Each structure stands twice: as structure tokens, then as C-alpha cells.
Amino acid sequence: MKKLTTLLAALSALALAAGCGVGTIDNGVEVGDGDGDGDGDGDGDGDGDGDVETTAQAVFEQNVRGLVVATCDPGGACHSTQDPAFVNAEPTQAYAAFMTYKDLLVGDFSNVATSKLITNGQGSHYNATFTTEDVSVITSWYQAERLELENGGDDSTSPLATWSGCMDLTDWQNTQVSEEWADKNANGQGDCDACHNLGADGFFASNDEVRVFENVTTNPGFMLAYFTMNEAGTEVMINYPRFGKVGTRTAPHQEHGPFDTDPDDQAVLALEEFYTLTANRLTAGNCGPPRF
């Protein structure tokens, strides 16, 4: 992550917005220069005319990581193991783990109130409990990330976003992914499209293949129902773990009807065929621009 360099005035405004003093971001990330004069400019004269350096990653690690662990992975039983696994309690790995799923959780850091991290973290998702103060802390981090991007920070496309541009509608139609999953039966609860034809619980399943394709390729939440990331966050893979947990009614999916996820299942085979075609496009460099 490249270092963010900006004027002290900009950081002072950010600090004041978060309710903290000049020379820090968000009550804890030191941005002073260590020369002992307290002005943050590094020249020791106290006039505050120099530049200040910090990183958005430092803001996350010192102020936000603990909130994410406590709220999104209480007891180590949620998003350290449940897909998407964006929580890593190990400080040196926490930021990389979170940013693997930045498309889903924070987007480009511009829409604080509507980002999924905030909306899910305020009680809409398994009674998660970000307080007003927590949201203020997270907002300061969002602002630091935006400043970093505006000053030449890393804005590289994520593997999931790249994958969205490699997915092809004709391949999707020819492999009949939509039809196979729409007509897949969850014992006792009917076919998948009976509940998921409008994307309920983050899973889109319908015989309207164009509508499903458009939603899966433009909404990272819907994509993650079919595809996820490997543990290193470097490669897209079929979301076998989620299918396995839902199909076997493993927590938190105890109320879902069981269904077959064997390797010879037609829905699984259709998705695997589509995955291979998409991976071939990626390897050959025949992808379009990311769709999210």
C-alpha cells in the first residue's frame, strides 16, 4: 500500500470531523513526525507547514480491525469461517483479508451509509451491533482510504471484479446454469426459484437466465453465491463451501432444505462447465471491463 501524503490542513479537518485532536486520525493513529515540537511537520520549528504521512491501512489496523473482529466474527464463529471469510484476527493479515472482499463490503469507500459493512453491521445482519461511535471511527477510515486513492494509492481491480468482466452471457446460456439451479430441489421446500427468483438471502436462482446473469455479474453479493476467493485472495473459485453448508443445513443454514451437491449433480456440472469457459477467457485475455 502506497503511503498517503497530504497537507496537515486536510488531515486536521478529517481529525476534527471524527472528534479528535490535530495530529491524529481517529483517536489513535499517530501522524506526527516525532521531532518533539508537536506540529507534525518534521522541522522542529512548530509552524506546522510541512506534510504529514500515514496510511489508510494503519487507520484500519489500529482503529477498525478490532471493531470488525468483535462485530463480524463474535466468538470466532462467523466471518472468519463463514463465507465471505473477510475477518482475520491476526493483526498482520487482517487488512489483506478484509480487502479481498472490498467490492462487497465497502466499494470505492465513497458511500459510507449504504456500504454493506455499515448496513449489515447496524443490526440488519444477525443482530450485528456497530454503535454510532463505531460508525464514526469507520467513517474516518473510509475518508483516509479515499484520500489515499485520490493521491495515487492502489486502486487495482480485485480478482472478483476482473472475473465479472470475463463472464459471458452466451456461455451462461449454453451451459444452462440458470435453469439447472432454478430447478434444483431443496427437499421439502421446493425448487430453488420458489424462494430465490428475486435474490432472497443473496442467492439468485431463476429460469430468466438474462436477469440472473445481469444480477450475478454486477452485484458482488450475488456473485459470491456462485463464486468466491481462494484463501490467499488471489484466485476466483466455485463457491463449493457455501453450497456444501447450505445443502447439508450447516450453521447458519439450519432452516434451509437439504439438497444434493455431489460432483455428478447436474447443477454443479453446469456451473463447473461455465467456470472453465470463464477461466479460459481470463487466461487468454479475452475479458471485457469489470462490471462492478
Q: What is the pLDDT of residues 8-41, one digit of tens each?
A: 333 333 333 333 332 333 334 444 344 444 444 4
pLDDT at 52: 52
Q: What is the pLDDT of residues 90-119, one digit of tens each?
A: 999 999 999 999 999 999 999 999 999 999
What's at 260, amino acid-wise?
A: D
Contacts of 170 (CB under 8 A, 6+ apart): none
Three-state DSSP class for 201?
helix
What average pLDDT does range 200-210 have in this prediction? 96
What's at 240, amino acid-wise?
A: Y
What average pLDDT does range 47-68 have in this prediction? 82
Q: What is the pLDDT of residues 139-172, one digit of tens each?
A: 999 999 999 999 988 888 999 999 999 999 999 9
pLDDT above 80 for 201: yes
pLDDT above 90 for 251: no
Three-state DSSP class for 224?
helix
pLDDT at 42: 47
DSSP secondary structure letter of residue 48: -
pLDDT band at 53 (very low <50, low <70, confident <90, very high): low
Rounded to whole angstroms, what are the CA distances from 6 to 97, 137, 158? 27, 20, 26
Contact between 27 and 63 under an 8 Å Cβ cutoff? The reply is yes
pLDDT at 15: 36
CA atoms of 3 and 21, how far apart (whole Å) = 21
What average pLDDT does range 202-206 have in this prediction? 95
Residue 142 C-alpha cell reads as: 473510509
pLDDT at 154: 83
Range scoring the smallest mean pLDDT among 48-62, 104-118, 141-155, 175-189 = 48-62
What average pLDDT does range 239-246 have in this prediction? 94
Q: Which of 254, 256, 222 is nearest to 239 (CA)?
A: 222
Three-state DSSP class for 292?
coil
Q: What is the pLDDT of residues 273-291, one digit of tens each?
A: 999 999 999 999 999 999 9
